[in-house]
Chain A
Amino acid sequence: MRLELRAITKRFGSLAANNDVSLVVEPGQIHCLLGENGAGKSTLMNVLYGMITPDSGQILINDQVVTIRDPKDAVAQGIGMVHQHFMLIPVFSVADNIILGSEPLKPWPFIDHRSATERIVALADEYNFDIDPSATIENLPIGQQQRVEILKALSHNAEILILDEPTAVLTPQEADALMVVMRSLKDQGKSIIFITHKLKEVLEIADVITVMRLGEVVGTTTPEESDEAALATMMVGRDVSLVVDKPPAQVGEVVLDVKNLFVQDDRGLTAVKGVSFEVRAGEILAFAGVQGNGQTELVEALTGMRAVMAGTMELNGKNLVGSSVRDVLDAGVGHVPEDRQRHGLVLSLSIADNLVLDQLGSPEYKAWWGRKLKAIEENGKARIAEYDIRAQDESEPLSALSGGNQQKVVMARELSRELKVLICAQPTRGLDVGSIEFMHRQIVAIRDEGVAVVIVSSELDEVVALGDRVAVLFDGMIQDIVAPTTSREDLGLLMAGSRPALNSEPRS
């Protein structure tokens, strides 16, 4: 199926979310749509999927002008969409989710489960999907849930699939598996519109790349004609440094000393199994590892949010085990949590309030008669200017900000306290190139001020770029602590649980 979008324009008030955007997707093509947050990618896809009516412009399918009023029309035209946040019912089975809305009936009103299951098995076989139709969604890993979404679109005979930032929620392994799925779909003649801001993936899989910025198409290119730096420049509109500019660490005393730490996860299984490490003032220790190898539990234990089963944690010689979150924060630990919207911010509150969320009791913002609203407001103004947070003013609710600016608020807040240790979990997850560059510079800057920094990231690039030392977590244990110059192959082996023969740095 050939899809053409012709001169799509959509305005929200004075803001042109899409301005004269044109795009052609040929049959059997993987077309990457690249752009920063707020560049208009999602608006364009919502226009295509019938969720937004454009002010002007045309959609052509196989050179015929079509009208798409709602998602139903889009599905009827053979357009399928996999949203970033899945539209699945967690307690239903895979089969039930796929047939939802188009249930095959044997004498009405009974659902013909057997023929439904057969159809799904046939469909899964056709595309080489390994999936159990009777499994319940909530028990499936994210990558599998995503396949169910894809299968659901295919079951409606989709010829063109829109994947909205599909890899943002996946582990590197799952992302690789998705690439395989995408290639096999392409071989079957399906077209794919792949929305992302991860440049590596784009170069790996795209046939054609369209880059958008500020609601307009800046250019169309192919992986052969382009590279990461060129794409980043197109996206951001200026040269972006993809390498972290980092002077050698000026290492000081040991600040955080963790010995033989054991932590349980929510299900009561031991997730962190005897982890020991030290972080010195002025260095960055970066934790690499596949998501789900104890990173979340380790960070929560370090910040007092999760009980420690055994082992010691000392900050400048002071015990941290058993301290409340408040005590840990007061001891000088900064925490940039993994999921900023769930743990880091209260989206309905103002930017100014969010900037003091964990400093409510500090004498700067609270007197005997209550919270000092003036001081909070002025702090908000100052941080917005200092960190270049794009917002109308400090009283705007946080939900109005883009992901990158939300993360800036978290970072600004944590750095505004007197820190000894900064713990950042997935500091740049879901951010665009410009924001990643900004975050990395902040992290290196705080290191150079003599703060001990712990980074946990599932992006190997980030770990290697930021870390002065790299600790690889596997199955709740530190496989090894190595230099960031270690080859990717060796790091990959460590992450997979085997120990290559290499010269690891001494642990002390």
Chain B
Amino acid sequence: MSVDVATTKRPPSRLLMLAVRVRRANMFLVLLFALLVGLSVGAIMIIVTTPTLLNSWGSFFSHPGGTISENFNTLWFAYEQIFEGSLVNFHALRVVIDHPSQANLAVVLGPISLTLQYATPLIVAALGLAIGFRSNLFDIGGQGQVIAGGLLAGLIGFSLHLNPLLQISLELVGAMVAGALLASVAGVLKAYTGAHEVIVTMMCNYIMVLFMGYLLITNLYARPGVKDGASKAVTPSGQLPFFFSHLSPNLLVNYGFVIALAMVFVVQWFFNRSKTGFELLMVGQNGEAARTAGINAKRTTIITLCLAGAFCGLAGMLELTGVDHFLSPNFGGSYGFDAITVALLGRNKPWGVFFGAIFFGAMYAGGEAMQAFTPTNIQYSLAQVIQAVVVFCVATPALIIEIFRLTDNERFRASGAAGGWAK
């Protein structure tokens, strides 16, 4: 009989046990460290790309203190701008505490409202893509579906003058139908011919970008007398109203955010409770078993892609009627592709997607502020570098676990959170 090892050793101290528990990898720690790595890499990039900072290292050996403080102050200021430009402006907060007024409050809330405005379409589009990813269907056509939604919502938006509630509902339904119809092409082809959805949806992106370009010079869409490709504007009755417009015109968050928030709950219900959501997960995990259990895999594939498309279409409508109010040749921007990253960042979980999108929105807003307010105009794209590094780290938790010597947590791994899309 072997000797039981545990009884011969002194039990480990409580402090050690606590340390072990704290070090155990979980989503919060991984995110925290990912942000730390992102900010560190961003700091190096800022130093390397800013001539004054780079030159200051020349005198590092004669005045080490001066070099370090100069670098630190610039970096601190840059990151302060990102923070204050996206979340809360502390200077304004101090002002509003001393002189409470509506106008001052609006200044405090300005940055966060900008973040939420940027995040709104991303939340919805990424939720849609997450539905597909759960079922192992990689809808890369977010961009095209956003455009499809925007095109139909726009047509309804600028050609009708109805009761606002009715018109906005029409736009919403129209945009979702348009996105779903576009995605259904990929769904039907996948189900009946086996054509890979990645190829089909990606090609649909090109078609939709060019189709929109064409429509924007036709009389149907083009704004009379304008040659820059801008469309007619959505009538006021078709625009999503702003929340706090009575406070200040600078508070940009609109009712689209409420719709997006509602969609988080809808998708959460869909994944956890609905029969279709469960079937879709089954088809994704084991299509053969799903078929044996009487699930029509073809139908599920089509439904999944249609849902993904509908959400992307809705994102297009929220962007158009909430923010832009008219279509232009680069409508939709990179939302379709950023949504893929957000879905990845959020690990296809509704709340993960929600906060992932908020993070992206904050980096858009903060990046702009950093470029505008730093004396050397540190480029907006550096915020995107930080963003990219964070996504990279979250997508490969093994890296963070290794760098920071976290204890491996089997449950964290087993939850699928650490696996990313390793399939």
Contacts and interface: CB of A to CB of B under 8 A. Distances in A.
Interface in A367-426: 369-371, 373, 397
Given A326-B294, A344-B292, A357-B293, A20 B286 contact: no
B282 A337 contact: no
B19 interface: no
A90 to B, nearest CB: 19
A357 B296 contact: no
B7 interface: no
A326 B282 contact: no
Interface string A330-371: 100001010000111111110001000110110000100111
Contact of A360 (B2, B272, B278, B414): B278
A485 interface: no
A460 B292 CA distance: 26
Nearest to B293: A358
Interface in B401-423: 414, 416
B273 A346 contact: no
B171 interface: no
A371 B282 contact: no
Contacts of A366: 275
Contact of A349 (B285, B288, B295): B285
A233 interface: no
Interface string B128-166: 000000000000000000000000000000000000000
Interface in A6-23: 9, 19-20
Contacts of A319: none
Contacts of A337: 292
B269 interface: yes
Given A20-B2, A56-B2, A326-B294, A357 B288 contact: no
A373 B273 contact: yes
Interface in A463-484: none
Given A329-B294, A344-B292, A358-B294, A371 B275 contact: yes
B289 interface: yes
Interface in A55-92: 55-56
Contacts of A397: 414
Contacts, number: 76
Contacts of B285: 346-349
A324 B275 contact: no
A305 interface: yes
A45 interface: no
A412 B295 CA distance: 19
A342 B274 contact: no
A329 B294 CA distance: 7
B282 A346 contact: yes
Interface residues of A, number: 34
A205 interface: no
Interface in B237-281: 269, 272-275, 278-279, 281
Nearest to B282: A346
Contacts of A345: 286, 289
A325 interface: yes
Nearest to A369: B273
A16 B292 CA distance: 38
A347 B292 CA distance: 14
A19 B1 CA distance: 9
A305 B272 CA distance: 28
Contacts of A330: 294
A361 B278 CA distance: 11
Contacts of A348: 285-286, 416
A329 B291 CA distance: 11
Interface of A: 9, 19-20, 55-56, 303, 305, 324-326, 328-330, 335, 337, 342-349, 353, 357-358, 360-361, 366, 369-371, 373, 397
27 contacts: A20-B1, A55-B2, A305-B291, A305-B292, A324-B296, A325-B293, A325-B294, A328-B294, A329-B294, A330-B294, A342-B288, A343-B289, A345-B289, A346-B282, A346-B286, A348-B286, A357-B282, A358-B292, A360-B295, A366-B275, A369-B273, A370-B272, A370-B273, A370-B274, A370-B275, A371-B273, A371-B275
Given A20-B2, A348-B286, A373-B272, 18 more contacts: A55-B2, A305-B291, A324-B294, A324-B296, A326-B294, A344-B292, A346-B282, A348-B285, A358-B293, A358-B294, A360-B275, A360-B278, A360-B279, A360-B293, A370-B274, A371-B274, A371-B275, A373-B273
